[in-house]
Structure 1
Amino acid sequence: MAGFLSIFRRALDQDMVDNVNGFWSVLLLALCSVGAFLVRYVTDPISCWHPVHWTSSHSSYADQTCFLTDRYYGTNPSLPSHQVREPVPSYHLWIPLILVFQALAFKVPNTIWNGGKHLLSLNLDETVSSLNNVQLTNAENRQAIFSDAARVFGSLLRRNRLFLALLYLFVKLLSCVNLIAQLMFLTIYFRQYLAIRVGSSAGFNMDSIIKPLLIKDVLCDISVRKMTNVQIFTVQCTLPITEIYEKMFTFLWYWVFLLAVITVLNLVLWAGYLFLPFLRDSRIAAHVKAAKGSSPDEHSITRFISSFLGIDGVLILSMISQNSNELVAANLTQHLYQVFQETEEEPDVDAVGPGATGTEVNLPISDLSS
């Protein structure tokens, strides 16, 4: 049971916007896909007008045959009966699969993030979970664990200072591209009236842009074989299931539109926080001050971020702050700052000499013979 509930737990190495894009939107589209498939069997998906002399078996066969076809003819009353009719395609049979592909498109950025973040050799999700549990221990053990975690973090951050942050922003950019592409797809192929009104008021020829995949009123040809002769009946049909699909895609359009606005703003805020010093440095300084009790030197904080934490360290501390609490982030930041001060106090130049066992020993230059 705990394993099943963990599926709905928010990932601790992403923010809420990422979780809505990578999990809840995928779940929503998956449910819509299942619903679009089941609605065929719990409602009357098509209704056709039949001649009076047809029996119930004739009518049932005509309804099923017309529903399972994907090409109809338009019901234009001004069109002469002798004129060749142009076929009109309908994609109502493909709606569940279309929704599945939309769900997969939402999952792609999250998959790239989960695959690329391990290149840092740091499992941030498990780390945040462990730091949350540390708060339940006594003060002495808690400080020792934070000190060990800071040294491990410091060792890893020396090898990666920018890769994780760039990957995270790239994943958010992919989410924005996916949302904008899905918004255009829903507008063009599913006749979203709000977008049509906005586009028309902006001067666009929406009639040439909109290409609906679903139609309601159609003419359907049915071929009936009698002995060696094939007789073709043309019946007029309406697709009530199209109305259900249109309402579903209208809801999805508003969902994607609001999520696109939020995701774009979220990307801008994250980029500003990671790369603008006046937003980034003040928060790190506040965490050091909260744990240390005194205001650190501004130049020291700048060196701490640029030469020790890097942009990746700022991202990690921000994730810990969002997914744990400010106290945990402040404690870890203070211990990282102590590790940074220790590295600054070490001699700048070391000499290395081989030991008897083949290991390397660091010796100050003053101890070496000329």
Structure 2
Amino acid sequence: MDKLIKAVFQLQDFKIRTDDDFIDRLNRQYTPGVLVLFAILISIKQYVGDPINCWVPAQFTSAHLSYANTVCWVSNTYYVPFDVAMPHVNEARHMISYYQWVPLILVSQALLYFLPCLFWRFLNRRIGLNLPSIIEASRATQKAVFPETREKSIRYVVMQIDSYLTASVRRHLPTGAHAGGWCSRFARALSRSWCLACCKMYGNYLTCCYLCMKLLYLANGIGQLWMLDVFLGFQRSYQLYGFHVLVKFLRGEDWSQSERFPRVTLCDFQIRQQTNVHRYTVQCVLPINLFNEKIFIFIWFWLLAMAFMSTINIVHWLTRQTILSTQTAYVRRQLSSMDTINKREHRATREFTESYLRRDGLLIVRLVANNAGGLVAADVLHGLWTNYGPEKRGLADIASAASTSRAGRSPHEIDDDAHGHGRWSRVKRFLVGGKRTPAHVDDTNTFPEDI
């Protein structure tokens, strides 16, 4: 009991995780909240009020009336319009069988909308990156009053991102005699052109998981329209239910009366009296369908809006994370806003984006910008640029120049590089993590225009 009381009083310290964007929060937070609220409302009407009232023959006692109401509630009723003749005993009927299970189906919809979020959090936790703490620290930076607090928060965020980026580079760095083979070059080119390829080896893992989560949200919204169609038994017409309501509304017709949610239904049941079995057909009122109708109209428009916004959001993030020129331009714009780079370092920013940040680093920075603002994201990028170091930026330019001039070198010089004696091999050893030697210093001095 003590643990329960402590848990109740600690609810005020509960914080909602923000490791995604606003459209994701609409899917995983606001949509389940709305569905659970509707489920509570319907449950109160079912268990507190009278969900069904049947008109029974005059000879029925109060016990018969209670029995008829209970039997018609737990069994399925059927709908027959007043201008249509009653069906025969063995004739098919338009059965209404959903009203008892509406709270359960609403709670199930809420759980289905939260599953993609669990998928995203499970996968990004496996790589050892505490993304929610990074976003939370970024939000604390935005609200910081003292410069020291802001600087510590930025340093923490930069340290976490840099640790993840450098660790992933070391873990998946190609080694051996075939490290630079055509397979490795093809995989590297494929990963740069498409963010869903070679995701774990070339810095696309988080991006791949994030886009998969968004695709699950989209599939969830579309799939639930078909699921409700089967559950409500509308003869495959719930997908167009909202359009029918709009057409009636624009024509000035009564859109609140629908055969899909009838308020007056019929119920058949039998009563055994000694050896005789009496069959009765009573007319029942379903006041709960007054709520069900409005709730499922709202849910139809809500699911359609969520599917539309999820589609636009997926296209937006695909454009952001797939096109490398867009990523490089974003990094340059953020760094230029803080006077971090000059015109001579544009080639270095491209190497910084493609080789150091890659798509996962840019995804984290963009999530920081979405949740904590562009100024905090610019500070984080500035810290990552500082960690990248002037030596790596200079040697990145040297490596680019050496790779372009490699085609015109003699076979003897290329053979020296293959055995580790050439200038290009020493630059590569430095980029991998080796320490600077006098030979490196002499080589860098031969390219003053690139430094």
TM-score range, shorter chain: 0.7 to 0.9
| Aligned residues of 1:22 and 1:110 also touching (Cα < 8 A) | yes
Q: Given the alignment, which residue of 322, 332, 340 partners 2:370?
A: 322
Q: What is the aligned residue count?
A: 348
Kindly provide the amino acid, as one letter, of the partner of residue 287 in structure 2. P
User: Are positions 1:255 and 2:266 aligned together?
Assistant: no
Query: Offset of 1:285 from its aligned partner?
Result: 0.9
Q: SS of 1:292's equivalent?
A: coil
| Aligned residues of 1:72 and 1:218 also touching (Cα < 8 A) | yes
Question: Pairwise CA RMSD of aligned residues?
Answer: 3.4
Residue in 1 aligned with 2:444? none
Residue in 1 aligned with 2:166? 155
Kindly provide the amino acid, as one letter, of the partner of residue 155 in structure 1. T
Please list the CA deviations of residues 19-57 of structure 1 after superposition, one character each: whole Å capped at 9, or x if unmatched. 110111112112222222221134332222221222233
Residue in 2 aligned with 1:167? 209
Query: Offset of 1:271 from its aligned partner?
Result: 1.0
| Aligned residues of 2:76 and 2:267 also touching (Cα < 8 A) | no
Residue in 2 aligned with 1:238? 285
Query: Offset of 1:5 from its aligned partner?
Result: 4.3
Unaligned ranges ≥5, structure 2: 1-7, 173-199, 248-258, 396-425, 441-451
Residue in 1 aligned with 2:427? 348
Residue in 2 aligned with 1:177? 219
Equivalence map 1:12-23=2 (5 Å)? 12-23=18-29
Aligned partners of 2:332, 2:347: CA distance in 1, in Å?
Answer: 11
| Aligned residues of 1:116 and 1:167 also touching (Cα < 8 A) | yes
User: Are positions 1:126 and 2:127 aligned together?
Assistant: no
Q: SS of 1:348's equivalent?
A: helix
Kindly provide the amino acid, as one letter, of the partner of residue 427 in structure 2. D
| Aligned residues of 2:268 and 2:280 also touching (Cα < 8 A) | yes
Does the C-alpha gap of structure 1 residues 197 and 345 become closer, same or farther in structure 2, counting only changes over 3 Å?
same
Unaligned ranges ≥5, structure 1: 200-211, 352-359
User: Are positions 1:279 and 2:326 aligned together?
Assistant: yes
| Aligned residues of 1:73 and 1:88 also touching (Cα < 8 A) | yes
| Aligned residues of 1:109 and 1:171 also touching (Cα < 8 A) | yes
User: Are positions 1:63 and 2:69 aligned together?
Assistant: yes
| Aligned residues of 2:158 and 2:383 also touching (Cα < 8 A) | yes
Aligned partners of 2:14, 2:81: CA distance in 1, in Å?
Answer: 49
Please list the CA deviations of residues 173-208 of structure 1 after superposition, one character each: whole Å capped at 9, or x if unmatched. 111111122234446746564334789xxxxxxxxx
TM-score w.r.t. length of structure 2: 0.68
| Aligned residues of 1:66 and 1:220 also touching (Cα < 8 A) | yes
- Which one has more relative contact order, counting CA pairs under 8 Å at least 6 apart? 1
Equivalence map 1:193-208=2 (5 Å)? 193-196=241-244
Does the C-alpha gap of structure 1 residues 226 and 274 become closer, same or farther in structure 2, counting only changes over 3 Å?
same
Select the structure that is richer in strand: 1
TM-score w.r.t. length of structure 1: 0.81
Please list the CA deviations of residues 66-99 of structure 1 after superposition, one character each: whole Å capped at 9, or x if unmatched. 1111254746765467552324432211111111
